[in-house]
A and B are shown apart, each in its own frame.
Chain A
Amino acid sequence: MNKRIAVLSNVNMSYVIRLLKKEYQVWDAEGYGNELGTLMNGQSSYHAFAPEITFLIMDLMEVLGHKTDLPESWRREAGEIREESGGADAGKREAHAREDAPGGTSPDRDSLCVGLPVLRDWFTRMDSCILPGRLYYLSDAWLWGPEIGALPETSLAQRLEEQWLQGLAWLEQRHENVRIFPYRQIIGKLGEENSFSLKTWYLGKILHTGEAQKRLAEEIGRLVEKEAGVPKKVLLVDLDNTLWGGLAGERDHTPLELSEDRQGLAYKNAQRVLRLMTQAGVVLGIVSKNNEEDALTVIREHPHMILREEDFAIRRINWRPKHENIREIADSLNLGLDSMVFWDDSPAERELVRQMLPQVEVPDFPESPEELAPALTRLYKKYFQRPRLTAEDREKTRQYAQNEQRNRLEEQAADFGQYLRQLRIRAEAVSPPAHMERLVQLVNKTNQFNLTTLRFSLEEMQRIVANASQKVYLYRVEDCFGDYGIVSAVIVNLTGDAPLIEEWVMSCRVMGKQVEDALLARIETDLLAAGYERLRGRYVPTAKNKPVEQLYDRLGYEMVSRKSDGEKEYCIRLEERPARADHVTWMEPA
């Protein structure tokens, strides 16, 4: 590991640096407590060393200079404060602002809403020190000091910490290369009594105990490794003695260990960790030697399975060598082998994969079931957890939150119809040529609500959109809780004796709200107006699109043919179509 790193602090971190030096090139900090000066001084040995990653581990009490009494003015609205302190601070900000500081990104320099002047000043100065092309990890806060127990209000410490976090969030948003170092989590886990030592503080301004410093160094090391490594995307898991105890194929003789107590609970909790990982964006796959049917029966029917079929993006359950299956999965997902992690209880299988596919990460498997959940948590932190949420993740989290609100509304509504009306769903037809990337992504990534599962490249889709004998419909949908974005695409082929819906996909985000009824009604009306009398539809079964197997039946289409493989063709006379749901309002293009 050849990363150059620096650890800056306002307390003595020499021992942390000493621990890190065993494995990394670490800048020799000249003392402590001058972190901003070090960063600002272009002539400093810090800049000569040019660390790729700089860790700032700040003790909040020292930043505050032990002034924990809040100024009277600050206790009022933050807005008032900004006016009051605006004059002097603004001048300081100007003085420290570097001409080439990255600007233009939101939020701007003036949006720092930290009321406490000392912190406001710290963050404003820190802001001007951030260099592009370098990484910065700044610690979040745990306020501690000899006087902490005697603070007049218990909420005070929390409010001071919040001020720090606000400043941190501001920096993080302004700079793509600023990340948060989970200081709070480390102290919280170890506990105050085991983290801080007054003895070493008085003797040498060493605030943290040996154990706390060891953990700080470990966390720094973990982040350095993560920044250096290829980020992993896929976790491939074995089944027997990995997701559950025992063998799926022999469960008639010996029941599986997967339950609410003993080893069974250990496996169940391991699945809980995996489930959370999938929610955080880890792609989960199965690579297992089993009869597929035995395994699927367990996954589908076992009452204590946390993970179900839909949680696995891909699976290879067969008797072929695992490295062949893994190679195939990499091809199929179009991902490199170096983005995969393999999790299997069998030392022989692990060794084989290590030998055959050295790019695949193969962590050790714990000896006992109770170690499973902690080991998987470590695995997640080591390989998958991103140090900073991307905009996309944030968006995902926001969407989950909106869904939660929707679910609550659904629980409260008297019936489903009322729920749908209360959602106040609005839809809008958008131009396919203007949203080509989303169109291609939508068609190629949708598995469940996908009637024929045709896949197209960007070029192919461009030809389809330009082709006069094919018509592409694309829709954006929102409701009273938020925007779903562009969520459905329909490709209608106009050649032949009646138009045919060649492909229809809809994101699972809007499934279960009868939005499809409104979209189809719109297309039907459009085609009827264009002079067509009938419309045809097709369903081609896949492993994933069971949810729409009966879609056309439900929408009043008549099945005209059915092949042995389950492919079905439908037709409807447009004049005779049934009344469609009317809970969706159409936004007309301005």
Chain B
Amino acid sequence: MKERLIALITEILQVPEGTVTEKTLMEDLEAWDSVAQVMIIGEMETRLGISVPLEEAMEMTGVADFLARL
């Protein structure tokens, strides 16, 4: 699951494989803006079946926060 999540984030950010790691933070990557953030949350729900509540969505700051949801 961890790998799938990182692959999903990599795909949405359109960055080379390996760019996104467990430690990557939103602020580390230019591509990870608010649109990408919303897409990641949406795709997590659609593809991985993991729902991030609306009120917590904007508190997610990096890969670690997402991994904590798994």
A residues sitting closer than 8 Å to B (CB atoms) are: 12, 14-15, 18-19, 22, 194, 197, 199-200, 202-204, 206, 209-211
Contact = CB atoms under 8 A, between A and B. Distances in A.
- Tell me what chain B mostly uses at the interface: helix, strand, loop, or mixed: helix
A12 B45 CA distance: 19
Contact of A200 (B14, B41, B58): B41
Contacts of A202: 54
Contacts of A209: 42-43, 46
A206 B46 contact: no
A204 B35 contact: yes
B57 interface: yes
Nearest to B13: A18
Interface residues of B, number: 19
A203 B46 contact: no
Contacts of B52: 199
Contacts of B25: none
Interface string B43-60: 101110001101001100
Given A203-B54, A204-B35, A204-B37, 19 more contacts: A12-B35, A15-B12, A19-B14, A197-B42, A197-B45, A199-B41, A199-B42, A199-B51, A199-B54, A200-B39, A200-B42, A202-B54, A203-B41, A203-B42, A204-B38, A206-B38, A209-B42, A210-B12, A210-B47
Contacts of A14: 35
Interface string B1-23: 00000000000101000000000
24 contacts: A14-B35, A15-B36, A18-B35, A22-B14, A197-B45, A197-B46, A199-B42, A199-B54, A200-B38, A200-B39, A202-B54, A203-B41, A204-B35, A204-B37, A206-B35, A206-B38, A206-B39, A206-B42, A209-B46, A210-B12, A210-B39, A210-B42, A210-B47, A211-B46
Interface of B: 12, 14, 34-39, 41-43, 45-47, 51-52, 54, 57-58
Contacts of A210: 12, 39, 42-43, 46-47
A203 B43 CA distance: 13
A18 B41 contact: no
A202 B37 CA distance: 13
A427 B64 CA distance: 81
Contacts of B47: 210
A12 B36 CA distance: 12
Given A199-B54, A210-B12, A15 B41 contact: no
B46 A204 contact: no
Nearest to A208: B42
A199 B51 CA distance: 9
Contacts of B12: 15, 210
